[in-house]
Structure 1
């Protein structure tokens, strides 16, 4: 565009100059060697311009002839370079596709057309070809050669790092990552690997400094940076909780400011506050985290914060119910606290509500505990235990398929930072229906009645009568006197199984008042 504008400007200037001369006619006389040459001023100007053009054209011809050998050499050199880059490109594609013979063929052709000193990609192709051919020692030597060259240092270090990871040489991988960060701190792969290695070694301060450097150099996303820093602060707080509770509390509080949904930071801050006998702040931290993300660890920590009697724990769990009444964790915690307080009616009601929301293994185990404590009916206890075997497992801390009882800042399998997730790790052991779906509470119990209804309505619920498969001869006997049941016993009798009888009713105790309806053949 600039050239076009310059050309148009020159043309305009020439036209303006000739127009100016045309408007001002004149005569030009030249006397040379006794000869007088007479011409107009316009003709003289045209002759001057033409002479300049002829000189420039002649100079171009002479210059082209003079530089023709170099031009010809440059042409063939450029053609050779183009062929070399074509072979290099084909070789890299062959390496990516795993075609070792073609990669080696293109490497030999590239070496004949390009020099490794001027094109570093030739060394890369050579090293990659050795890798896919299984010659790892030669490949490592070539990567080391690349690491010594300032132009290909980062490329060689990455190759050495990946090869060390493949061989399981984690110490060597850590060395190469640290060296790459030292030479080029802006490299994301080197910074990420070094960050994980420093966390594994417990060097949280160095890891946090490296994370801040990455944010400045690479422009890391603010949300991603805050999450990683919160994880690092929580890990540092956990590492020094026993020796420095105050420092652990400060790290946990700072982590919660960066990411309020980080559950381990909330539990760590609450434990640190309890160490300082600051129950109110501990409860505030747990309440704020529980409102955002109801989780079993938070509910359990809140229920047991400050100790106290079972009735005090029940009252604390009722505060959680006021905050998140529809959460499974809330109902389960209230039911467990009610069981400890021997309030069986509330424990059973809350447990049934939790089973409607999410029929997990833990709620059925809790129902078995309630049945054991309230009625002692072993048949009903076995029924709940059988349902627990068929139900889904509760969420756990899982990282790379590994289940852990506690949260950790890195994965114990791969060393990945912030790898733990709170999720269900396993499917139910049994309870698969014929169509492949998982059995639910409605499949196990039928339609569940409203637990808010009084116990009398539950007792009057219709219980289906099983259809007999064997003909039974009714003996002719005198009608037996009905057993007398006191009002107290009728009120205490619970109504389990949501209106349905258990599959295993257990062993009934025979009493003297039980009538005998048997008959004798003889």
Structure 2
């Protein structure tokens, strides 16, 4: 609006000036050699403007003719540049669509038309990567190192090539060089930190983490967590070599991340070694309130060296009450009660754990309880068979890798603080996946024919003397279930707990058969059953009569035909001494589950 107003104002001023000149009296007279030229002032002004325009036009024409070579060169140069950028744009599109051949062709054209354009060189290098020509890609990225403008780009490309070729030393070198040239590079900071952590160079990793935080590559919460992880790893590494330094590192790590279980465990362990029981218990209690973990309960139970099993049970119960109604706490109390031979309390805690969060470890612990309290190896095997189908226990996992112990960095991706305490995905009650370690050779040797049939059915294999089609068509309930329920599928968890944990059938104890030899222990009776199995199968060997196959996909638990509910053939019988079995040295049982 203002521009229009100014334009009309100037136009009005010019028109007013011309009107004023037209109204002026007189003429302009020019005489030359007797010729007189007279015109009014307005006409003379217009003629002067026309002459000035013609003069300027002539000057422009002359200058254009003189500069025509330069103008033509600039025209062709602009045309060449436009063609080059068009080829570069089309090449990037072809590269994004996966057409490496076309991208290379357009990249060569763009490099030829644009000269020293870095984007064209990057297009050629990435086209070589896409087509699998790694040698050419490395050469092109190495050529970028000569220019300060493209040095970081070349280092990044060489880093990627080194990782693809499985050269961690070279990849770490390129990442460190890139971080030196540009401290704010995110990928370089993370790569150097990961490689240092994987190489157990935790002191250098802490320094790199400090630089990344100073360069604002990570936020403060992430910095505190990662520093705690690295300090914990250093403390674990120095625990035996320098306990004082390790305790200082663990203390700082616990202050940065109270819920980091390994930091609390190593700090409590070092404090216990020094005799500072109060420091150890306070550390474990603070971590337990945030993240209940079996390692915390175990360290809390053994915080005071030399305590009896009853003292450890009391201490674990105190810890479990600080985060009540958790399956982890219930299992810890049950394990401590089993060690203290408080079987009723162990059953009560296992009942809670199996009803709220059933797991393989809980079923195995119930099998240990059956053997320790009653010496009932038959029922022990029933609980072990149910453990086959139970959800897997929680473990340390990172990027699909399961580790028996906590680690600071993932062995797959090098990511820091990747291991989490979680349940593996895969084993479910419908299709459990179990390793060969589930079947203990001494346990199989003492199982007898019926016991081996139970374990074979749990593994998805037919029982001895039974056709495969018959084994596959049997019901999927435990052998302790009534015969009428054996074709109705697995019993609900609540019914199993009430029938097997709380109210143990008295008829099962009364129906136990006596061993073949007077005064025989459950283990000897089991070996007798194994000998019977060998005779049934027609073999002379006294070793295990059945070797379980490697399990790929297990069927639900199947009771063998003819097995009475609630008892097994190798039970010691009512005449056997109930205290004889648990007090004597027993064959290796389910301890490998612990």
TM-score, normalization by structure 2: 0.67
How many correspondences in the alignment?
463
Distance 1:50 1:231 in 2: 86
C-alpha deviation, 1:235, in angstroms:
1.7
* Contact map agreement 2:100 2:130 (CA 8 A) in 1: yes
Unaligned runs of 5+ in 2: 435-457, 461-471, 479-488, 509-563, 577-594
Contact 1:84 1:109 in 2 (8 A): yes
Q: Which residues of 2 match residues 190-269 of structure 1 at below 5 A?
A: 190-269=188-267
Map of 2:374 onto structure 1: 375
Aligned residues of 1:395 and 1:423 also touching (Cα < 8 A): yes
Q: How does 1:225-374 map to 2 (within 5 A)?
A: 225-307=223-305, 308-374=307-373
Please name the residue that 1:114 is paired with. 114
> Are the counterparts in 1 of residues 267 and 280 from structure 2 also a CA contact under 8 Å?
yes
What whole-Å deviation, never above 9, does each CA across 1:79-132 have from its counterpart, x for those lacking one? Answer: 3222212222222333344433323322332233221x2x01222222233334
Report SS of the residue matched to 1:224. Answer: helix
Q: Name the structure 1 match of 2:85.
A: 85
Q: 2:433 aligns with which of 410, 429, 436?
A: 429
Q: Secondary structure at the match of 2:402?
A: strand
> Counterparts of 1:166 and 1:252 in 2: how far apart (Å)?
36
> 2:134 corresponds to which residue?
136
Q: How many Å separate the matches in 1 of 2:48 and 2:304? A: 106
Unaligned runs of 5+ in 1: 464-499, 513-522
Distance 1:239 1:28, change over 3 A: farther
Contact 1:90–1:106 (CA under 8 A) maintained in structure 2: yes
Question: How big is the shift at 1:314?
Answer: 0.6
Among candidates 170, 173, 191, match of residue 171 of structure 2: 173
Q: Secondary structure of the residue that 1:373 maps to in structure 2?
A: helix
Q: How does 1:33-72 map to 2 (within 5 A)?
A: 69-72=69-72
1:152-167 counterparts in 2 under 5 A?
Answer: 152-167=150-165
Report the CA distance between 1:311 and its aligned residue: 0.9
Query: Do the aligned partners of 2:145 and 2:154 also contact (CA within 8 Å) in 1?
Result: yes
1:444 CA drift (Å): 5.9
Structure 1 range deviating more: 353-362 or 402-411: 402-411
Deviation at 1:31, TM superposition (A): 9.2
Structure 1 386/197 Cα, relative in aligned 2: closer, same or farther at 3 Å? same
1:438 and 1:417 map into 2 onto residues whose CA distance is: 45
SS in 1 for 2:84: helix
Once the two structures are TM-superposed, the CA of residue 232 in structure 1 deviates from its matched residue by 1.7
Output aligned runs, 1:452-467, within 5 Å: 458=503
| Secondary structure of residue in 1 paired with 2:196 | helix
C-alpha distance after superposition, 1:8-30 (max 9, x if no partner) = 797598579779999x9998999
Aligned partner of residue 215 in structure 2, secondary structure:
helix
SS in 1 for 2:292: coil
Per the alignment, residue 105 of structure 1 pairs with: 105
Which residue number corresponds to residue 443 of structure 1?
Answer: 492
* Mapped partners of 1:317, 1:58: distance in 2: 105
The 2-side partners of 1:224 and 1:29 are apart by 92
Shift of residue 183, structure 1, vs aligned partner: 0.7
The residue aligned with 2:553 is none
Higher mean C-alpha displacement, 86-95 vs 318-327: 86-95
- The question of whether the paired residues in 2 share the 8 Å contact of 1:266 and 1:289 is answered with yes
Rounded to whole Å, the distance in 2 between the matches of 1:51 and 1:503 is 127
In structure 2, the CA distance between the partners of 1:273 and 1:9, relative to structure 1 (3 Å rule), is farther
1:134 is displaced (CA, Å) by 3.6
CA separation of 1:12/1:219 partners in 2, compared to 1, >3 Å: closer, same or farther? Answer: farther
Q: Is the 8 A contact 2:269 2:280 kept in 1?
A: yes
Q: Give the corresponding residue for 2:557.
A: none
**1:441, distance to aligned residue in structure 2 (A):** 8.9
Q: Distance in 1 between matches of 2:192 and 2:157?
A: 16
Counterpart contact for 1:252–1:265, Cα < 8 Å: yes
CA deviation profile, 1:406-435 (whole Å, cap 9, x unmatched): 21111234433222121223623377999x
1:448 and 1:370, CA in 2 relative to 1: closer, same or farther beyond 3 A?
Answer: closer
- Distance in 2 separating the partners of 1:51 and 1:255: 90
| Corresponding residue number in structure 2 for 1:94 | 94
TM-aligned CA distance change 1:147 to 1:224, over 3 Å: same
C-alpha contact 2:354 2:497 (8 A) present in aligned 1: no
2:71 and 2:354 map into 1 onto residues whose CA distance is: 86
* SS in structure 2 of the partner of residue 157 of structure 1: helix
Q: Which residue does the alignment assign to 1:517?
A: none
Pairwise CA distance, 1:334: 0.4
Question: 1:389 is matched with which residue?
Answer: 388
Residue 44 of structure 1: how far off its partner (Å): 11
Match of 1:488 in 2: none
- Contact (CA 8 Å) 2:477, 2:491: kept in 1 or not? no
Query: Partner residue of 1:502?
Result: 566
CA distance, structure 1, for counterparts of residue 362 and residue 147 of structure 2: 64
- Inter-partner Cα distance in structure 2 for 1:53 and 1:222: 71
SS in 2 for 1:355: helix
Secondary structure of residue in 2 paired with 1:446? helix
